[in-house]
Structure 1
């Protein structure tokens, strides 16, 4: 739309939008800018970045105009958040198509993330003057989140209501704040530790969408009442990496990857979401199984989590740099790993006996790049020349 609106659900037909713009469920999570920035880091495609930047900026401003309270915090319905049936307060209220006058922590953190990535894009495109309002919004949202969402008693961050205070329902959506760099360093330990706490988020399959200590938690998943969802797991991993909790990110990634591989062996498919208390597909509250053959976001586990976390490969193509953070002890490798728009790499790491041992690697590439090799015992920068 000319005013910036993007409908969250479309049918493949003319005028196939499923919602009117001002329906509270008409938009989805504000993550387009993050996705496009990541695409740029993986490809170096600044031409595409220049094309999408004005569209993403207009969308961000549409949301700021029509999805915020006077203080600048954001509201969102359950459907718009993607977490359809998750309770938003201790009374168990579910707001699929409404917003109950609450400030949504996930929506506010996603707006902060979007504003930051738009500023990054503007710097690359030399359009910094175009994002002055977003640069100001970064400070406003960060202050709102830390003033209203953080509970000093437990260090967790919650949705909040102007009269009723914080919701006190621990949602995985709170961890968008890590990726958005909303949390001051001194508050990170008390917030992150819940991901490693067995009474809340450290379950047999990590990470449930709702903490186990909630009375609304469902051991079979119950959709967003405990279900383990690949996109939110990936968000948690990226957030932990952003704030330097790489060891915890690796532990969660291994747990998630091992579990989805086991379920694939058992069922010969990947699933929409998974159960948190057993190594199986998830089930809704009425007993209906999650959707099978769901290689949309569920492809994140066997692809992105495998490559970025188990294998530790993280490209930054604009700088011609590839980080290889090696934590596995078994031998492993990747052939035809894409780097940028034309680069292809073959990478192999030999088996090791312990984490401190320096990895013995082989890299063949058709392009010039800098490899930043990391392991528990040290790091090394290696210049890779084209070999074919």
Structure 2
């Protein structure tokens, strides 16, 4: 988290034209990243752990071990190892992903007792966004689909029908509070809304809008008709729609319209197409 904070401070200074300060904070991020990789990576578990002494790793594998993805400090080989953990049902690939504590830990509780196995929207978004930035968009998509599907199933079968503070990893139920072992707080859209909003748009639909850069990247993975209408773009909106396809290998037929000029990149499998979307003018693409 600190490496990420340093990197973001650098980008903020760069945006304000303060290049010396930007370089300082980027250097701090790189230095801390090297230290994290030197000291907190365990070759035996292929995971990032806390340490109590120079010799001893803290044993549990937790969702905190995925922060290096989002911070941009995880080397490719270690990224692959983290993805393997996310796909492994013995650790993090549970019916409701991603538990805060790996399922092979002695303290893991399948009821989702808070941080001993609970599934949390903020850590899930940290993981999926980190995967996307690390070039692992397909894995981010898989996790997001499974997680949001679990939110819907819990919403439908549990009362009150709402979003919860955290969730059980083994069943579609709310998680349990650590001390009372009662259901966690209901009506918790404050962060669980990340799932049906940000993760739905960015990871499931695959629409990534960078408004300051005036850039839209759409990774098309779904085959049914899908898209979004009235997505905020400054004071205006964006409409983006992809027609139904016969298969994942079929071309994606895209229609776009926005109230701002945007550089557009559409990705569909190995295919890429770039175009310029002009404000107020529709754009149709086949990729």
Contact 1:356 1:377 in 2 (8 A): no
Structure 2 residue 282 is the aligned partner of structure 1 residue 380: no
2:239 equivalent in structure 1:
346
Structure 2 residue 84 is the aligned partner of structure 1 residue 197: no
Alignment of structure 1 residues 182-331 onto 2, 5 Å: 182-267=73-158, 268-285=161-178, 286-331=180-225
Moved more, 327-336 or 130-139: 130-139
Contact 2:207 2:216 in 1 (8 A): yes
Cα distance in 1, alignment partners of residues 197 and 247 from structure 2: 26
1:349 Cα deviation after fit: 1.3
Cα distance change of structure 1 residues 377 and 112 upon mapping to structure 2, 3 Å threshold:
closer
Superposition TM-score, scaled by structure 2 size: 0.92
Cα distance in 2, alignment partners of residues 300 and 170 from structure 1: 24
1:236 Cα deviation after fit: 0.2
Contact 2:49 2:57 in 1 (8 A): yes
Superposition TM-score, scaled by structure 1 size: 0.69
1:44 equivalent in structure 2:
none
The DSSP-based 3-state class of the residue aligned with 1:282 is: coil
Cα distance in 1, alignment partners of residues 259 and 22 from structure 2: 37
The DSSP-based 3-state class of the residue aligned with 1:177 is: helix
1:378 Cα deviation after fit: 0.8
Contact 1:358 1:377 in 2 (8 A): no
Cα distance in 2, alignment partners of residues 131 and 241 from structure 1: 24
Contact 1:178 1:240 in 2 (8 A): yes
Cα distance change of structure 1 residues 140 and 319 upon mapping to structure 2, 3 Å threshold:
closer
1:163 Cα deviation after fit: 5.1
Query: Per-residue CA shift, 1:44-92, capped at 9, x if unaligned?
Result: xxxxxxxxxxxxxxxxxxxxxxxxxxxxxxxxxxxxxxxxxxxxxxxxx
Query: Per-residue CA shift, 1:155-177, capped at 9, x if unaligned?
Result: 11100122551102100011111
2:285 equivalent in structure 1:
none
Contact 2:10 2:24 in 1 (8 A): no
1:382 Cα deviation after fit: 2.1
Moved more, 162-171 or 227-236: 162-171
Structure 1: which 5+ runs fail to align?
1-109
1:331 Cα deviation after fit: 0.9
Structure 2: which 5+ runs fail to align?
282-287
Query: Per-residue CA shift, 1:241-280, capped at 9, x if unaligned?
Result: 1111111111001000111012122232000001000012
Superposition RMSD in Å: 1.5
